[in-house]
Every structure is written in structure tokens, then in C-alpha cells.
Amino acid sequence: MKKIKSPWYGIVWIVIWTAALVWFLMSERFNERESIGLVLVWLILVGVTVYVLYQNWRMSSRGGAARSVPRRPQALQQPARNSACPCGSGKKYKRCCGSDAPIGSGSTS
């Protein structure tokens, strides 16, 4: 079943449950105790819906849901070639620890 992420969907359900509650309470078919039970059920339904709406809003404001592909820890990621070297030398990574040639091997012609 496809998940509907629109906030209007939850708001429409709150309006429907509120209209149903008002109709039940105005019909005078229920005694005072049953009316209190109806109001409690309405509070639970609205509370859960507001909670879900809040969670969806919070996730969308963060930039989406959790990614399905786990990211590698920062320590295991290799820096980009043009970024600063993590050893602290101040050189670019490609000129320091990321060079293909071993350190100390210069071209002597």
C-alpha cells in the first residue's frame, strides 16, 4: 500500500472525525458516560494523526527520510584528491599521502 505523505490527508481525517463527533453528540442518542467515551476516542484519533503529521514534517524539514544506503564512517572514507591532506602537512592530498609514487622517489635526469 502506497504511503500518502501529504499533510492534507491527515487534516481531512481530523475534519471527518470532528464532524462525526459533533454529529454523534448532537444526536442525543448517547448518555453522558458514552459521550465522554466518544470524546476520548476522538482525542486519541486526533492526537495520533497530529503526531504522524508532526513526524512527517520533521523528516521533510531535515531533508527526507533516513537513507536506505548506509554511509561509510568518516575515518574509512578517502579524502578527495584536491582536498587538504588529513595528516596535517598543509599540502593537498594528491601531493602528500595520496600520491601514487612512494615518498622520496624523485625523478633524477
Residue-by-residue pLDDT tens, the chain, 109 positions: 666 667 788 888 899 999 999 999 999 888 999 999 999 999 999 999 899 888 888 887 776 555 555 665 655 677 787 888 888 888 888 888 877 755 555 555 4
Helices in 1-109 by DSSP H: which ranges? Answer: 7-27, 32-62
Residue-level pLDDT at 102:
57
- Residue 66's pLDDT is 53
Q: What is the pTM of this model?
A: 0.49
pLDDT of residue 1: 61
Q: Are 59 and 65 in contact (CB under 8 A)?
A: yes
